[in-house]
């Protein structure tokens, strides 16, 4: 969505939000599309409330404030530390943290968090964790692949809808970790992967089809999206297969053989 001149929050609106949600001694930041300057007229307002370990965390979630949907997420200092330690959380949080806007930061903890995000680099230990997570995750998504196969064979709408989600979002997040990418948002994920793998890569074409996107602008049917997701699983297995442990390899090979039987060579 293209931002409009009226989409941005005014200084006065930000101050009202800070007065409402910044509890005494707590750090509050604006995150998401408003922090990046990409908000549209219907974008929600995402806030991050950082609280000390052991402190009571206030109720989080969506609220309607001045006609805007405001979503408050809370995190303890220990929780925020995991955003730099677990590969699946690194790709989810670090890019966005680089763009956060501090609203209240009495002890400069948010400033330190943003600096840590800006300075983040993949270390050998994180690389090992990332490779291990990718292998385990691919084996874990085998269940969604089987659900997709079952849905296609039985023409089961529910199974196909569930499988489409896992085979599109799930495998995309897996590949973010594999490629060590740090997109600033979920919307930026597609672009980041296309740039990393190449616009002409088969994986990218299958991913877009699994999401229901095509370069011609024609939306694939649900069965076609599921088939694309199944082919995406097989292509992903080819790319990351070296990371599989023996038990995982047995699972993935069994599932990819069934996918090949369904799709044909």
pLDDT tens for 63-81 read 888 888 999 999 999 999 9
Q: What pLDDT score was predicted for residue 4? A: 41
DSSP class of residue 11 equals H
pTM over 0.85: yes
Domain coordinates in residue numbering, the chain: 11-118, 124-263
In whole angstroms, what is the distance from residue 216 CA to residue 148 CA? 25
Which residue stretches of the chain are H helix? 11-21, 32-36, 77-82, 87-97, 109-118, 124-140, 142-154, 157-165, 171-179, 187-197, 202-210, 222-240, 246-263
Burial profile 224-263: b = 16 or more Cβ within 10 angstroms, e = fewer: ebbbbbbbbbbbbbebbeebbeeebbebbeebbeebeebe
At 47, the pLDDT band (50, 70, 90 cuts) reads: very high
Q: State yes or no: pLDDT of 2 exceeds 50.
A: no
pLDDT in tens, 214-242: 766 678 999 999 999 999 999 999 999 99
Q: What pLDDT score was predicted for residue 58? A: 67
Closest CA relative to residue 78, chosen from 55, 61, 99, 47: 55
pLDDT in tens, 157-200: 999 999 999 999 999 999 999 999 999 988 899 999 999 999 99
Angstrom CA distances, 65 to 20, 62, 89, 179, 223, stand at 10, 10, 29, 39, 41
Please give the residue that has the higher pLDDT: either 247 or 186. Answer: 247
How far does Cα 85 stand from its chain's mean position?
Answer: 16
At 23, the pLDDT band (50, 70, 90 cuts) reads: confident
Mean per-residue pLDDT of the chain: 92
Q: State yes or no: pLDDT of 1 exceeds 80.
A: no
Listing from the earlier edge strand, what are the strands of the sheet with 101-104?
61-65, 68-76, 45-51, 27-31, 101-104
In whole angstroms, what is the distance from residue 2 CA to residue 57 CA? 35
Q: State yes or no: pLDDT of 101 exceeds 70.
A: yes
CATH architecture of 11-118: 2-Layer Sandwich (3.30)
In whole angstroms, what is the distance from residue 30 CA to residue 48 CA? 6
Q: What pLDDT score was predicted for residue 42? A: 85
């Amino acid at each position: 969505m293209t931002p409009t001149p009226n989409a941005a929050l005014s200084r006065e609106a930000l101050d009202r939000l800070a007065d409402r949600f910044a509890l005494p001694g707590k750090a509050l930041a604006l995150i998401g599309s408003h922090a990046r300057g990409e908000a549209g007229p219907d974008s929600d307002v995402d806030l991050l409330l950082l609280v000390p370990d052991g402190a009571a965390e206030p109720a989080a979630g969506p609220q309607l404030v001045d006609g805007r949907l405001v979503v408050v997420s809370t995190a303890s200092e220990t929780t925020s530390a995991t955003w730099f330690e677990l590969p699946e959380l690194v790709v989810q949080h670090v890019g966005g943290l680089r763009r956060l806007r501090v609203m209240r930061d009495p002890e400069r903890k948010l400033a330190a968090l943003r600096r840590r995000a800006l300075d983040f680099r993949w270390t050998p230990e994180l690389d090992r964790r990332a490779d291990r997570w990718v292998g385990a995750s691919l084996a874990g998504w085998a269940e969604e692949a089987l659900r997709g196969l079952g849905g296609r064979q039985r023409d089961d709408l529910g199974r196909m809808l569930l499988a489409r989600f896992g085979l599109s979002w799930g495998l995309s997040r897996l590949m973010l970790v594999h490629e060590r990418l740090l997109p600033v948002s979920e919307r930026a994920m597609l672009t980041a992967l296309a740039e990393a793998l190449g616009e002409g890569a088969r994986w990218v074409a299958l991913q877009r089809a699994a999401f229901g996107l095509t370069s011609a602008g024609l939306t694939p049917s649900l069965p076609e999206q599921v088939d694309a997701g199944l082919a995406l699983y097989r292509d992903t297995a080819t790319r990351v297969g070296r990371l599989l442990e023996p038990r995982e390899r047995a699972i993935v090979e069994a599932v990819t053989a069934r996918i090949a039987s369904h799709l044909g060579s």
